[in-house]
Structure 1
């Protein structure tokens, strides 16, 4: 695993998003900079359709490959979510995450 510096000086909060965001939860918590950690919980079928539409539009692989890959990711999604929550992220829907982050910002003394 590689690392690189990440500066948040002057920012009241930072949000880490993506499949690997849960990887930094423990270290952020240890350093006292973790305000919240979330793993998006979405309807799997909708995720499959969005991913397939994006990948087909990008035309990087043959459609059959994209469908097989999409189905494999669809089946793996519950395990990915379990791993993320095991690393300390809270499973939540997108609207719940947006409300939680808005609440964190509203309650932060350095908000702009």
Structure 2
């Protein structure tokens, strides 16, 4: 695959752009710049008191495991957006470790929308199988760059305590290349931000075909 523009599919319906990458890689800011509707997959985290949450070997919840996330609910929301153009989405507070409400996301006729989150690549196979997928992208940076961005964001937003953020950040920085490789194995295409933005805009510019006239 070239480093220019992906061979994006032409489709008469809205399609999902799955945007994955390590925590702090710039997924949210890229999705906002692209000017398309955004489904934030972090809203599908499990509540902090869910007994099925995975644990780290040293203790505490492993929020970087896909087992900490409602995969089937996220897929159902993507399916609803592609088929109907709207979906009810949970609103999740990371500092509060739980859902605080719901909201309605509408596409308003957009040809594509971004579903972004660290687990987005987990949905590449199911979305492709169901004909929902436009493209799956994994953002790739230098691990040190990602770590610094992640730490600044998490401190600014008060996501967790600073000692927790430092421990998590060091662990993620050491494993970042493996995280990217794993997301590529799931079907995502790894690239840097500028190339990812070009490909998102290319798919978003493909307008849906008009609905057929009534007989």
Normalised by the shorter chain, which TM-score bucket?
A: 0.7 to 0.9
**1:30 pairs with 129, 139, 162, which one?**
129
Per the normalisation by structure 2, the TM-score is: 0.46
Per the normalisation by structure 1, the TM-score is: 0.83
1:79 Cα deviation after fit: 0.8
CA distance in structure 2 between the partners assigned to 1:104 and 1:83 by the alignment: 24
Q: Structure 1 residue 110 and structure 2 residue 208: aligned?
A: yes
Indicate how the Cα distance of structure 1 residues 96 and 59 shifts in structure 2: closer, same or farther if over 3 A, else same.
closer
Q: CA RMSD in A?
A: 2.0
CA distance in structure 1 between the partners assigned to 2:201 and 2:159 by the alignment: 37
Q: What residue ranges of structure 2 are gaps of 5+ in the alignment?
A: 1-66, 86-109, 210-215
CA displacement 1:87-109 (0-9 Å, x = unmatched): 00000111111100111122x23
CA displacement 1:41-90 (0-9 Å, x = unmatched): 02211111112223333273244x43232111101111110110000000
Q: What residue ranges of structure 1 are gaps of 5+ in the alignment?
A: none
Q: Structure 1 residue 71 and structure 2 residue 170: aligned?
A: yes
Q: Hey, which of these two has a bigger chunk of strand by percent?
A: 2
Q: Hey, which of these two has a bigger chunk of helix by percent?
A: 1
